[in-house]
Amino acid sequence: MAAVATANGLPVLSSQAYLEGKTVWETRTLVADLCRQFYTLGWVSGTGGSITIKVHDDSIPKSDQLIVMSPSGVQKERMIPEDMYVLSSGGDMLSTPCAKPYPHKSPKCSDCASLFMKAYQMRNAGAVIHSHGMESCLVTMINPFSKEFRITHMEMIKGIQGHGYFDELVVPIIENTAYERELTESLSDAISAYPKATAVLVRNHGIYVWGDSWISAKTQAECYHYLFDAAIKLHQLGIDWKIPSHGLIKNESYQSGSKRKFNVYANSGLAVQASVPSRKFIVLDIEGTTTPISFVTEILFPYARDNVRKHLTSTYDSLETKDDIKLLRAQVLDDLEKGIAGSTPIPPDDTGKEEVIESLVVNVEAMIKADRKITALKQLQGHIWRTGYENNELQGVVFDDVPEALERWHASGIKIYIYSSGSREAQRLIFGNTAHGDLRKYLCGFFDTTVGNKREARSYFEISQSVGVDKTSQILFITDVYQEAVAAKAAGLEVILSIRPGNASLPENHEFKTITSFAEI
């Protein structure tokens, strides 16, 4: 094999030697192998569907790596490595396959090329899969007006990047067009509008799935197809896959093969559909709303402060703690530039474990004392608290009226979410370990400061986009903080202020409705 040309020690990606080299050839082979497997799954039958993978090379930044793409209009299960197209990171064609004799068509790069490039450019993907799997097509037809697919409390959701069992998975749906390339703009818009999504459904067509690598993309594609199939089968059984309990669909259910109507009552000889409340979603703050402030200030914060050194010491070499330290380093650097009181430089790792931990403890203690609402602190606290719950040293606390209200709202079909400055893990721990049992079964999802500052209106716009309301006014937000209420109202949400023992006083003439118990809602 010819030597690879180099410049400054790096491969020249457009050189013939590199294009014919081992890494590119292995990627070509991988695409062909995967297409054969996807054919058996029904994802790329009838020459439909496609796959593209970046040529992984440790010496080349991911954003600059070459792209291998399958051809269009060919029998995907019969492809060979020589059939593949090789593109630059910017989409320029570097290598094309040779034509084959009749009955083969002239070679043509995938019609999905422009859509694949959007996932590479906007998500820094390592691979993209386009499937025509039947499940991905049918699931978009259950509700022909829906712009999103939603599902929660299914084990396979854990296979989707950034999601857990208790989260609500949301996949945007775009409308199909006559030609694949005409989907490029709407797919790009969907990627921008759903920053957490790793897939986009195309109605009556299929799905595009991307991941950091081909393994991530393949794993997620398999999970998506499983979840779509589950939703279709649950729908046939009259079960609502969109709610945590997976109870009967409100308007209809299928029993013994026949459709039976629910919520329909006789009135003067006429069938009248029960009214549906306009409020469909409730978003709850935690501290001072579902949970006494004293639990946070007198139990959780001191526990994190008293155990930060022990936690960092015992978990210092774990990937999770390394990520925590990375976030704290970035935050402290920013704090030092801004002159934040209590900030202390964190020495580099090669200084020694003890010195690094000592500086981290000083910074974390200062952050806790100042009650700072920053992701770096909240993430570390969540990991410390998790240990406390696992050791039965902590138990989540909620007001006595909260469990009954959650159960009542949930039974009425209202979707309930949490939005707190604490990390999502910390939120789950509180509601999963209460004296009333695990309350997470009533919750559809959790939002933390990664969605935005709680005192900024755009954060609530982002939440409304994530939960998929037709109007932001369909969301009720309950909080004890006046500034959060103002921000949510500016985003169009309905807002109620919570008055609980120990809460700070509210401004006079604030004009918001107030409650002292969830029983009032």
pTM over 0.95: no
pLDDT-above-90 percentage for the chain: 70
Phi, psi of 252 (to 5 degrees): -160, 155
Kind plus residue range of the DSSP H or E element containing 93: strand 93-95
Assess whether the previous peptide bond of 277 is cis (omega < 30° from 0). no
Report the C-alpha gap between 384 and 394 in whole angstroms: 11
Mean pLDDT of 384-394: 93
CA-to-CA dists, residue 432 to 244, 302, 446, angstroms? 14, 21, 12
Has residue 104 got a pLDDT over 80? yes
Residue 254: what pLDDT? 38
Mean pLDDT of 282-311: 94
Has residue 361 got a pLDDT over 50? yes
Mean pLDDT of 404-426: 92
Residue 90: what pLDDT? 93
| Type of residue numbered 331 | Q
Residue 274: what pLDDT? 32
Mean pLDDT of 410-417: 92
End-to-end C-alpha distance for the chain, whole angstroms? 74
Has residue 203 got a pLDDT over 90? yes
Model pLDDT for residues 482-509, shown as the tens digit of each residue: 999 999 999 999 999 999 999 999 998 8
Q: Token pair of 359, please?
A: 């500086």
| Type of residue numbered 100 | K
Question: Is 267 in a helix, a strand, or coil?
Answer: strand
Q: Token pair of 305, please?
A: 């402060």
> Exposure pattern of 44-77 as b/e (b: 16+ CB <10 Å)?
bbeebbbbbbbbbbeebeeeebbbbbbbbebebe
Does 112 carry a binding-site annotation? yes
Residues 6 or more apart in contact with residue 136 via CB below 8 angstroms: 201, 206, 207, 224, 225, 228
Report the C-alpha gap between 192 and 363 in whole angstroms: 35
Polymer length of the chain? 521
Residue pair 444/168 in contact (Cβ under 8 Å)? The answer is: yes
Question: Is 337 in a helix, a strand, or coil?
Answer: helix
Q: Kindly report which listed range (94-103, 143-152, 265-274, 347-356) carries the lowest average pLDDT score.
A: 265-274
Model pLDDT for residues 106-146, shown as the tens digit of each residue: 889 988 999 999 999 999 999 999 999 999 999 999 988 88
In CATH terms, are 12-237 and 281-288+397-520 the same topology? no
Question: What is the DSSP-derived secondary structure letter of residue 298?
Answer: I
Kind plus residue range of the DSSP H or E element containing 445: strand 445-447
Vertex 360: Cα angle to 354 and 365 (nearest 5)? 125
Report the half-sphere exposure of 7 (CA within 13 A, side-chain side): 5
pLDDT, mean over the chain: 88
Has residue 416 got a pLDDT over 80? yes
Report the C-alpha gap between 93 and 511 in whole angstroms: 62
Report the C-alpha gap between 404 and 519 in whole angstroms: 8
Mean pLDDT of 1-15: 56
Report the C-alpha gap between 336 and 331 in whole angstroms: 9
| Type of residue numbered 72 | S
Q: Which CATH number among 1.10.10.10, 3.40.50.2300, 3.40.50.360, 3.40.50.1000 corresponds to the domain 281-288+397-520?
A: 3.40.50.1000
Q: Token pair of 383, please?
A: 């990991």
Does 421 carry a binding-site annotation? yes
Has residue 448 got a pLDDT over 60? yes
Q: Token pair of 472, please?
A: 């932001």
Question: What is the DSSP-derived secondary structure letter of residue 299?
Answer: I
Domains in the chain: boundaries: 12-237, 281-288+397-520, 294-391
Mean pLDDT of 394-409: 95
- Catalytic residue numbers read 155
Has residue 272 got a pLDDT over 80? no
Residue 12: what pLDDT? 66
CA-to-CA dists, residue 222 to 68, 181, 216, 233, 454, angstroms? 21, 25, 10, 17, 35
Has residue 380 got a pLDDT over 90? yes
Which residue has 């008055």 as its token pair? 499
| Type of residue numbered 158 | K
Report the C-alpha gap between 318 and 324 in whole angstroms: 10
Residue 252: what pLDDT? 40
Model pLDDT for residues 51-92, shown as the tens digit of each residue: 999 999 888 989 899 999 999 989 999 999 999 999 999 999
- How remote is the C-alpha of 233 from its chain's centroid? 24
Mean pLDDT of 211-224: 97
Mean pLDDT of 323-341: 92
Which residue has 């989260």 as its token pair? 167
Has residue 270 got a pLDDT over 60? no
Report the C-alpha gap between 377 and 371 in whole angstroms: 10
CATH code assigned to 294-391: 1.10.720.60
Does 132 carry a binding-site annotation? yes
pLDDT-above-70 percentage for the chain: 92
Phi, psi of 388 (to 5 degrees): -60, -40
Q: Token pair of 58, please?
A: 């440790």
Does 420 carry a binding-site annotation? yes
Q: Which CATH number among 3.40.225.10, 3.90.700.10, 3.40.50.620, 3.40.50.720 corresponds to the domain 12-237?
A: 3.40.225.10
Has residue 40 got a pLDDT over 70? yes
Report the C-alpha gap between 12 and 21 in whole angstroms: 11
